[in-house]
Homo-oligomer: A and B are copies of this chain.
Amino acid sequence: MLIEVKLTMSQSHNISERMFELTQKNSAVREMFEEGNRLAALYGRENVYDFSLGNPYFPAPEAVKTAISDILENEASTFVHGYMSNSGYADVRQAVADNINRRFGTGFAAGNVIMTVGAAGGLNVILKTLLNPGDEVLVLAPYFLEYGNYIANADGVLVVVPANTEDFQPDAKAVAAAVTSKTKAVIINNPNNPTGVIYSEDTIRKISEVLKQKQKEYGHAIYLLSDEPYRELAFDGAEVPWLTKYYRNTIVGYSWSKSLSLPGERIGYLLIPSEADDYELIYNAACIATRILGFVNAPSLIQRAVARCLDESTDIAAYDLNRRLLYSGLKKAGFECVYPQGAFYLWMKTPCDDRQFCAAAKKHNILVVPGASFSCPGYVRIAYCVGEDTIRGALPGFEELAEELIK
Q: Cβ of A297: which chain B residues have Cβ within 8 Å of it?
A: 264, 266
Q: Which segment of A70-78, A157-165, A198-206, A317-325 sits at the interface? A: A70-78
Contacts of A261 in B (CB 8 A): 77-78, 81-82
Cβ–Cβ contact B124 & A293, under 8 A: yes
Which residues of B are found within 8 Å of A399, using beta-carbon distances?
none
Whether A28 sits at the interface, judged by CB under 8 Å, is: no
Once the chains are docked, how many angstroms separate the CA of A338 from the CA of B108?
49
Do residues B19 and A294 form an inter-chain contact, with CB atoms below 8 A? no
Q: Which residue of B lies closest to A304 (CB)?
A: B264
A8 at the binding interface (Cβ < 8 Å) = no
Contacts of A342 in B (CB 8 A): none
Is A382 part of the binding interface, using a Cβ–Cβ cutoff of 8 Å? no
Instruction: Determine the chain B residues whose CB is within 8 A of the CB of A65 once the complex forms.
Output: 72, 77
Task: Determine the residue in chain B with the shortest Cβ distance to A289.
Answer: B19
Name, among A128, A184, A296, the residue most crowded by chain B CB atoms within 10 Å (CB to CB).
Answer: A296
Residue from the list B15, B76, B293 in contact with A278, Cβ < 8 A: B15
| A266/B296 in contact, CB under 8 A | yes
Interface status of A123 (Cβ within 8 A of chain B): yes
- Decide if A23 touches B281 in the complex (CB within 8 Å): yes
Minimum Cβ distance to chain B for residue A374 (Å): 17
Q: Provide 25 A-B residue pairs closer than 8 Å at the C-beta atoms, listed in order of the A residue.
A: A11-B220, A14-B277, A14-B278, A15-B129, A15-B130, A15-B278, A15-B282, A16-B131, A16-B132, A16-B154, A56-B78, A60-B77, A65-B77, A77-B261, A80-B264, A82-B263, A124-B294, A146-B292, A153-B293, A264-B299, A265-B299, A293-B294, A294-B295, A295-B295, A299-B299
Instruction: Write the residues of chain A forming the contact surface with B, with a CB cutoff of 8 angstroms.
Output: 11, 13-20, 22-23, 53, 55-60, 64-65, 68-69, 72, 76-78, 80-84, 117-118, 120-125, 128-132, 146, 149-150, 153-154, 184, 220-221, 223, 261-267, 277-278, 281-282, 284-285, 288-289, 291-302
